[in-house]
A = this chain, B = another copy of it.
């Protein structure tokens, strides 16, 4: 039971939420996620994920020049992405409720 397994299907929603707030590029996203407390976020996770989301039309991308390195690929949310984010939030809240209930009943009452 590694820590990374718990992230499956969850960072997707977090990424959508961050992109909704403001368009971001991949490298920036990695830094933001780390700032939020997700430790060690691999680029091997982020770039394939963003590309998958683009393929699924949850986000759209445009390249912009940078003065600090190569061009950046900025992502922003599509309407479909907004809907998906709302669905994620619903599922996340249900999951939280279920897990917390199990932990309370299961751990304390023995």
Interface footprint category on A: 35 or more
Does chain B have a CB within 8 A of A68? no
The residues of B that contact A6 with a CB separation of less than 8 Å are: 8-10, 91-92, 95
The residues of B that contact A2 with a CB separation of less than 8 Å are: 9
Closest to A106 in B: B17
With A8-B8, A106-B18, A107-B21 as given contacts, are A13 and B1 in contact (CB-CB < 8 Å)?
yes
**A99 close to B1 (CB less than 8 A):** no
Does chain B have a CB within 8 A of A40? no
The residues of B that contact A19 with a CB separation of less than 8 Å are: 106
The residues of B that contact A91 with a CB separation of less than 8 Å are: 3, 6
**B1 close to A37 (CB less than 8 A):** no
**B94 close to A1 (CB less than 8 A):** no
The residues of B that contact A97 with a CB separation of less than 8 Å are: 37
Residues of A within 8 A of B (CB): 1-10, 12-14, 17-22, 33, 36-38, 84-85, 88-89, 91-92, 94-99, 101-103, 105-107, 109-110
